[in-house]
Structure 1
């Protein structure tokens, strides 16, 4: 059940990174037979063997859409990126946000998907390097058009 465990933590990180906000269930939020939220919870139950408790904090009006995005991109094996690559990208972003919940879940997901300690370290270091140079380039107000020309020439993709 490594996949179930990995998906549960990946799902947790993705929803938490999407700025979960607590809501109070109102009478208007009561489920109906064809309620998209109930359908999403049913799919979660089937995929994870349970519905993660934090998903109930997400507004019912948006949970079906949030779930569809995760299901069809992050959890799908029919995308261009494999599970390990997705988890490493998510970990790198989570480290920069920063999101403690996401870092925990993404690290576990990356390991479950086969990432080594070195790959995890490099993903986080790449996030740090990107953040560093973003700070330098933006703070120094480097001319973007000049930058693009120089990078195209350096990378051998001059037009």
Structure 2
């Protein structure tokens, strides 16, 4: 189950289009990248195999850093609930499916999943209204206590 959680989180992070800014000469070869992915997750997911060879090492470096680095501050459940909220707004059916699955594997309840999606809807609602009405940003900030 831990392996499945890791693979899904990896897939979701990659599918959300994150980009690594490391230079090509600092990155391992495609073959070494695949070996590292397999050593980490037990499999090289298809979306990594289909990723452009010139970008797969950078995509893996970013994904590995955000998903499995022990220095990360956010717990897996929180990361998945954030990912789910973002995925619901994009929308990305792959990410929604994976992040929901992994949030639950990490201990999220159905109520927490629903609240994360509702939070995304709430932010999207007010963003649409505030931007559409061209509410003055400086006035808005002042109304909520300034900087």
- Shorter chain as denominator, the TM-score bin is 0.7 to 0.9
Q: Any runs of at least 4 consecutive aligned residues in structure 1 with deviations exceeding 4 A, and if so which?
A: none
How many pairs does the alignment contain? 139
Where structure 2 has 5 or more consecutive residues not aligned to the other structure, the ranges are 19-26
Q: With structure 1 as the length reference, what TM-score do the two structures score?
A: 0.82
2:56 maps to 1:57: no
What pairs up with 1:23-62 in 2 under 5 angstroms?
Answer: 35-62=28-55
* Partner Cα distance (1:74, 1:46) in 2: 15
* Partner Cα distance (2:58, 2:120) in 1: 28
Q: With structure 2 as the length reference, what TM-score do the two structures score?
A: 0.88
Q: Is this contact kept in 2: 1:16–1:102, CA < 8 A?
A: yes
Q: RMSD of the TM alignment (CA)?
A: 1.7
Q: State which structure, 1 or 2, has the greater radius of gyration over its C-alpha atoms.
A: 1
CA offset digits 1:54-107 (Å, max 9, x no partner):
211111111111111111112323211111100100000000000001101111
Where structure 1 has 5 or more consecutive residues not aligned to the other structure, the ranges are 20-33, 153-157
Corresponding residue of 1:113: 106
